[in-house]
Structure 1
Amino acid sequence: MPGDRVLAGIALRLLAIFFLSTMSALVKLAESRGATLFETMFWRQACALPVVLAFVARGPGGLGSLRTTRLRGHLARSMVGVVGMVFTFGAVLLLPLAEATTFQFTVPIFATILGALVLRERTGIQRWSAVLVGFAGVLVVVQPGSNDVPVGGAIVGLLAALFVALVAILLRQLRDEPSGTTVFWFSTLTLPLIAIPYAFHLKAHDLLTWANLAAIGIVGGMGQLALTGAAKMAPVSSVVPMDYSGLIWATLYGWLLFGMLPTPMTWVGAPIIIASGLFIVWREQRLGKQQTATAAPED
């Protein structure tokens, strides 16, 4: 039943956010054990590949579904995605987990801006107002001039959200490709690029650190597959609100692993950013229904 698929999509999205929040905590933990940014990025992609291949092999068409005629599109998505990964992992390393997660909630805000500027989508005063409210929430979290949240880390966190929104736009052009195929080409095309700087940062580690690096890739790959699966099962407006559960996991991991809790102003600013994002998602859903009703043929 359609309702069952929506519930399954919501459950998958919650699982995906748990996996990706766990990956962020493992990235920060690996850095505390001496791993560098490019090491974590390389093993994130390398160890995700077996997970993705196993997923694809069990699906329709098996490994043959990896063949594609959209290599240029996958290449563009991968180039933007790898830059976004630098900023995403960089934000996790520069900021407490809760604050790094909070800046990810600005993705709908950037998606609105990019939709208007790049795709020439019509954006009304209500959505622009939501964008302004969202950035007001960012200012509440950052508190320019205070030392609670580094401004440099906040900028990296916002750039990470911007590139996630850019990837979402590029993925629209690949929506006819199976999700496993898209994830496979992202890992495969970016590995050689990441391997170049990684070659200059080769380091010896103990067994626990290597296990940590491997876990980043395995958990990250599972999270990415769950994320794409949720998008296929349920409307975006139904599953996106589940993303805010990431703040719970980030707070828990930050406290358990690093003895850090969100700043008081993060608790004030995060709901403002979340409310802005939810309004944008609700507004897009409402406009989509109106357009469908307008386009429907008369009886």
Structure 2
Amino acid sequence: MPRSTAMTLSPRERRLGYAFALAAITIFSLQDGISKHLGQLYPPVFVTMIRYWAFAGFALVLAQRVRGGIPATAHSKAPWLQIARGALLALQIVLAITCFAVIGLARTQAIFAATPLVATVLSVVILGERASPLRWGAVLLGFLGVLLILKPHGDFFDMTVLLAVLCAFMFAVYVVLTRMAGRLDPPLTSFFYTGVAGCAVICLIGPFYWSQLAPLDWGWMATLCLTSVTSHYLLIKAYNILDASAVQPLSYLSVVYASIMGPVIFHETVHLSTYAGAAIVVAAGLASIWSEPRTI
């Protein structure tokens, strides 16, 4: 939980919090680009498993440093809920890497931008949360933006883009499960299960997809692991200072980064409708965030 609210933050603390958040989101985007590169060459399950080794190691190190160590951190009032959300995220990452490789980085991230809107709907249905008319309007607008992104070009509709829709839905479910877990367990416990449970699940299937990495790609894999640990650490630092509602709008920068990396680095062809749809989805997401009730 943030240690202070926006009302008590000094300008220096606020700048530091946003610097941590911006750095984390930038590194997450670099991580996506490396994942796309490796996912085009090796099975996404294999890439995810190696990445989770670093992620789980980082979670264990953090748990060991707190009072009570790993046993205290691993103690949960809802262990099966924590395991379920950890497993779901691991599988979602496998599908996300597949989407980056098959659909393209820019188009996939444009669809992923709708995740908070899907989470809004699921939170109302599953958690019984209330949404204002403005938020419902933002959800409707965002879904129209997604339809524009999915718009067939010519007479051909690429069915593979539905994988990105499924992936966004999976992450929205993960967000809702995380909110449920947050009502019962502290954030570090949830983070612990995200890394360790996810690693355990992916290691059940990852070895069957073991591949021989080229020497250069070992360097890319090491960089992927480093970015995974660094980005999560920086995000934790950001949340120690800022409220989640302050950090969330910055996450839409990943769409901007992807729209640059996709065409420039990976030579993806991105149609104007994708950019227009992404702009609509991002605008709807920001409107949804700003319409949330604030607690002082």
C-alpha RMSD of matched pairs (Å): 2.6
TM-score by length of 1: 0.84
* Aligned partners of 1:98 and 1:247 also within 8 Å: yes
* Aligned partners of 1:42 and 1:194 also within 8 Å: yes
Partner of residue 211, structure 1: 219
Equivalent of 1:66 in 49, 68, 73: 73
Distance 1:261 1:13, change over 3 A: farther
SS class of match (1:233): coil
Distance 2:207 2:214 in 1: 19
SS class of match (1:151): coil
User: Does residue 152 of the first structure (1) align with residue 160 of the second (2)?
Assistant: yes
163-172 or 226-235: bigger deviation: 226-235
Partner of residue 48, structure 1: 55
Partner of residue 39, structure 1: 46
Match of 1:43, as an amino acid? I
Distance 2:202 2:80 in 1: 19
Distance 1:183 1:276, change over 3 A: same
Runs (4 or more) in structure 1 with deviation over 6 Å come to none
Distance 1:55 1:147 in 2: 52
* Aligned partners of 1:144 and 1:151 also within 8 Å: no
Query: What is the identity percentage for the equivalent residue pairs of Structure 1 and Structure 2?
Result: 23
Distance 1:162 1:225, change over 3 A: farther
Deviation of 1:48 after TM superposition, in Å, equals 2.1
Equivalent of 2:178 in 146, 164, 171: 171
Aligned length: 286
Deviation of 1:256 after TM superposition, in Å, equals 4.1
Partner of residue 162, structure 1: 169
Equivalent of 1:248 in 232, 240, 256: 256
Distance 1:87 1:148 in 2: 23
Distance 1:288 1:129, change over 3 A: same
Deviation of 1:149 after TM superposition, in Å, equals 7.7
Deviation of 1:56 after TM superposition, in Å, equals 4.6
Structure 2 unaligned segments of length 5 or more: list them.
Answer: 1-7
Distance 1:147 1:186 in 2: 42
Partner of residue 266, structure 1: 274
Deviations 1:109-134 (A, max 9, x none): 11111011111222343222211111
Match of 2:57, as an amino acid? P
Match of 1:142, as an amino acid? L
Question: Counterparts in 2 of 1:121-200, with a 5 A limit?
Answer: 121-144=129-152, 146=154, 150-153=158-161, 155-175=162-182, 177=185, 179-200=187-208
Partner of residue 24, structure 2: 16
Distance 1:262 1:59, change over 3 A: farther
